[in-house]
Amino acid sequence: MCMAINTAKFGFIKRDTPREINLDPLQTGGILTPEARQALQEWGDGYSVCDYCGGALDQIKTPPIFDFINKALPEFLGCDQARVTNGAREAKFAVMHAVCKEGDWVVMDGNAHYSSLVAAQRARLNIKLVEKTPAPEYKILPEKYAEAIDAVKRESGRAPALALLTYPDGSYGNIADAKAISKIVHDNGIPFLVNGAYAIGRMPFNAKELGADFVSGSGHKSMASSGPIGVLGVSNQYAPKVLAKSPTNKNKEIEFLGCTARGATIMTMLASFPAVYERTRPERWQKEVEDARWFSGQLESLGLKQLGDKPHDHDLMFFESMPFYDISQKADRYFLYREMKARSIHGIKPGLTKNFKLSTFGVGREKLGIVVDAFKEILQKYST
Ligand SMILES: Cc1ncc(COP(=O)(O)O)c(C=O)c1O
């Protein structure tokens, strides 16, 4: 018998997260520009971008998706060709699936995001993680790629089919020497994928300068876009494999199942692109780095400890926060979340007190000062 579905809890739902100040690493670079917010409303109907379809997403001339994907995006990424995907993970999977075969090995940094591992597993690859240095730095050193490649050769009798670097990584915001890693990887005849989910759209980034054959980026994480959307850059050398077309449906690229971000997501990316392009200029990024370093110094003066690269070169930072952990032993583990929420500051996960990640991207010195004061007030309140 068919039961009637109770729909009472669905329909329009207001988001109640206080967002006066947002420090959530997953969100700071994805906050929409006013133009993207407008685009969301304008292009929100299903396949809205397909009014004048040219047979494939990247061929649509009106709106100017063709120009974005085939002209602006390759230039922005510093690579020969580009596509949009449904996320950084889909870009990584497309590369792995196209250039590796089942049972091959992929070498990736020990700070790699879970989505890199899952993408490799979905492509039925074996994974060798490149060792990181111990706490508190957790650095990825180029020579460790050589060691991991040699280990794969020894254990499997063949070279890895792909190497991946997370640039920067999503835990500590560490920026490894991609150029040096690229040289080692290429000297071993291995193609190189740089996952720039936290770089592309935030900071200056150029695939060719880093020595990458492929790059992946995340629109919802770093390009002020409504998710899910990502970007993929590929060199001409590997484009025939990654962008191969279907023998039956000649317009459709196999790795993207024909078309990817075909609606409001791509239109928010286009809408934000002028602002995103501007914010990645070196002088703008330098200000972000200075803000991050200032914030790190302020928190350290309160007894917290920033792990990872120091001085830090990115807005994503990991803090060990023992003073808050000590308070949680007397109060409860949600006290910090509650106190921050009461001040309309979002970003520290509920229940975390011993350590947490934060991002200062786009927050600005004034609001970062408010956050520092909030931490001070909370420490004082519970010390009495
Ligand atoms: C370093 C890194 N890469 C990739 C991803 C996944 O990005 P996407 O959601 O665009 O697939 C994340 C998500 O947190 C990440 O931290």
pLDDT band at 306 (very low <50, low <70, confident <90, very high): very high
Q: ipTM for the complex?
A: 0.97
What gap in Å lies between CA 10 and CA 51, rounded to an integer?
A: 30
Cβ distance 183 to 211 under 8 Å? yes
pLDDT above 90 for 3: no
pLDDT digits (tens, 9 = 90+) for 203-258: 999 999 999 999 999 999 999 999 999 999 999 999 999 999 999 999 999 999 99
* pLDDT above 90 coverage of the chain, percent: 96
Residue/partner pairs of 186-189 with CB below 8 Å, 24 or more apart: 186/211, 188/146, 188/149, 188/159, 188/160, 189/159
What pLDDT does 54 receive?
80
pLDDT band at 143 (very low <50, low <70, confident <90, very high): very high
* Axis-axis angle for helices 365-383, 322-330 (nearest 10): 40
What pLDDT does 198 receive?
98
Which residues approach ligand 1 with their CB closer than 6 A?
26, 87-89, 113, 115, 166, 170, 195, 197-198, 218, 221, 230
What is the enclosing helix (H) or strand (E) of 174? none
What pLDDT does 2 receive?
73
Is 196 annotated as contributing to ligand binding?
no
Cβ distance 89 to 164 under 8 Å? no
Alpha helices (H) along 56-192: 65-67, 73-77, 88-99, 114-122, 142-156, 178-187
**Distance from the CA of 113 to the center of ligand 1, in angstroms?**
7
pLDDT digits (tens, 9 = 90+) for 15-44: 988 889 999 999 999 999 999 999 999 999
Q: Rounded to two decimals, what is the model's pTM?
A: 0.97
What gap in Å lies between CA 288 and CA 320, rounded to an integer?
A: 22
Nearby residues of 12 by Cβ (< 8 Å), 6 or more positions away: none
Residue 344, both tokens = 């309309």
Nearby residues of 37 by Cβ (< 8 Å), 6 or more positions away: none
What pLDDT does 1 receive?
60
> Span 282-383: which CATH code?
3.90.1150.10
Burial class (CB in 10 A: 0-12, 13-18, 19+), 349: exposed
Listed in order, the ranges of the chain carrying CATH 3.40.640.10 are: 33-279
Mean pLDDT in residue range 331-355: 95
Listed in order, the ranges of the chain carrying CATH 3.90.1150.10 are: 282-383
CATH architecture of 33-279: 3-Layer(aba) Sandwich (3.40)
Best residue among 27, 108, 114, 115 to mutate for probing ligand 1's pocket (most ligand atoms within 8 Å of CB) is 115
pLDDT band at 372 (very low <50, low <70, confident <90, very high): very high
**Distance from the CA of 166 to the center of ligand 1, in angstroms?**
10
pLDDT above 90 for 168: yes
pLDDT digits (tens, 9 = 90+) for 45-72: 999 999 988 889 999 999 999 999 999 9
* pLDDT above 70 coverage of the chain, percent: 100
If you take atom 3 of ligand 1, which residue's CA is the nearest one?
A: 197
Mean pLDDT in residue range 126-142: 98
